[in-house]
Structures are given as structure tokens and as C-alpha cells.
Amino acid sequence: MNISRILLVSFFSIFLCSCAVMPNFTEKFDKKRQTVQKRVELSVEQLEMFDDLECSDKDDCKTQFLGEILGSVITFPLSAIISSSIAVIGNSIYWVNEYGECRS
């Protein structure tokens, strides 16, 4: 593997890892049925990472930088799993509430 591919993969992974997936709750009025439709949508948002590095020496900078990278690598997949679970459950509840019928 040549150096340009390694740099490209590294840059892409650090860029992707500085993002988080967030659920957004939206409402839309349906004029035809005169109801409010609720949905949960996912969006990818940029995190403020790597801004608060305050280093006193070289080892301290390395430690803080590695901590930021490890934190950001964990943040994206974890936020994607949790947010998508919220979206699936939320949209299922909204769908059952809107279209489901209770039989008593």
C-alpha cells in the first residue's frame, strides 16, 4: 500500500470520526387528513473535537491528541447505533399511533 492511500484513509477516518449521528424530531401538518405527522429523522453533525488541546510539553500533547482520536473513533459508531435505534422505535410508535387500530 503506498503512502498516498494510507494518508487518504487516515484523513477520511479522522474526518468521519469527528462527526456524530443525531436524531431530530419533526412534525408536519397533513392538510388532507387534518392531522400532524411526527417523524424521527437522522442527521450527521460535526463535533467540536481537537479544539481544546492545551499542552505543556510534547508528551502531554501526544497523550491529549491520542485521547481525542480514541474518543472520536468511539463517538461516531456509538452515536449511529443509539440514534438509529431511537429513530426506529420512535417512528414505529408514531406509525402505530397514526395507523394502528385498537380492538377492544
Rounded Cα–Cα distance for residues 38 and 63 (Å): 45
Q: What is the pLDDT of residue 85?
A: 92
Convert the pLDDT of each residue in 4-35 to its tens digit. 776 676 666 666 556 778 888 989 887 887 77
pTM of the model: 0.60
Convert the pLDDT of each residue in 57-99 to its tens digit. 778 777 777 777 777 777 778 888 899 999 999 888 888 877 7
Q: What is the pLDDT of residue 101?
A: 67
H/E element holding 92? helix 58-99
pLDDT category at 52 given cuts 50, 70, 90 is: low
H/E element holding 18? none
Q: Hey, where are the domains in the chain?
A: 3-99
User: Would you give the distance in Å from CA 40 to the centre of its chain?
Assistant: 13
Among residues 47, 5, 39, 34, which one has the least CA distance to residue 23? 39
